[in-house]
Structure 1
Amino acid sequence: MKRRLAVAAALILLTATASVPLGLSLPPRIVQLAYEIERYGIAYSWGGGHAEEPGPSKGTCRGYRGRIKPCPAARTRGLDCSGLARWVYALAHGKDVLGPGNTDAQVRKMRRVKSPKPGDLAFFGKITKKTVKTHHVGIYLGNGTMMNAPETGAIVRVDDIGEKEDFAGFYRYRPPREGSR
């Protein structure tokens, strides 16, 4: 009798879950990719991820103000925060949608959202209608966390958004309209 009940319960659950749209309980592709990249233990590199193609690359010491001296970026293959966002979005969209620019260039390709969804970007700095001066970006994972390439000496990892100062808002990618660039 117990076995019949177990089989019946399993069939009911299977039928009920089969009618739920796929993806409803699955994390978005951007989040899945961010977690995959985290598993590689990729180092932070100032300017890393901004080569011609998205992905880890050697960084640059131009503009470097990190704590580790001398600047290790030119000899470190890795990603900075915008390089991480660029690579994950390129993998998710099948093309380089954010481009090699910094966080200011990236936020201009996005639209601000009040209710973030996993896969949106969390920007830090100051964004007004007239000016954009950002200095950091992370990939929102949900529950107040982000995938983050935080600073020289760190690896790509999950951090709480609230640990970083001057949160500027959540932004969602907006593809260009047909016929425009």
Structure 2
Amino acid sequence: MITITDFGSGSKVFNSDKRAINAIAKTSGTSLKNTKLLFRIIRYFQPASILELGTNLGIGTYALALGNPKASISTIEGCSQILKVAQQQFSNKRVSNIKAIQGDFKEELLGLTLHKWDLIFFDGHHSKEATLTYFKMLFPTAHNDSVFIFDDIYWSKSMTEAWEIIKAHPQVTVTVDIFNWGIVFFRKEQAKEHFKIRV
């Protein structure tokens, strides 16, 4: 059991701040299906610099690290207790390419916005306002081949609204909606197009 400090939109499952680690893994950790998909995305694109907002137990983070062991991965988690569990997992599995940061996303991002990111996984604060704020903060760090992945785009009506605003951004060229995630590309050589696929 650990005590959770939730900086995001809260939980639709838990109504207490004391939670069992196995329950967190089952309900709010990255699912096995999504973990495999994340691994395949990283293996395909081979991003060298990766940012993750929302480490949770580090299941998704571990998939990022395995997908490209040479990548430099920065992951931010608001809750110190849950990050401690994730860091133990990284240490036990001898993953050396992950830099774990504990703190408020917005504050921590201020020191990371000068960086150019090949891939960003937005998997933390599931609200319209927060998602759009992080997108606006991190958009200048994208380059032509960057990939942004947004988790839980249908988690709430406001998250879906945020997704529609991101899709409409003039520099966003291609999006892929796979229901759980929205994947964003910025390739100037491609015409603006939106896809919906089942995986």
TM-score (norm 2): 0.26
TM-score (norm 1): 0.28
Greater helix share, structure number:
2
Structure of greater relative contact order (alpha carbons < 8 Å, 6+ residues apart): 1
- Computing the radius of gyration from Cα coordinates, the structure with the larger value is 1
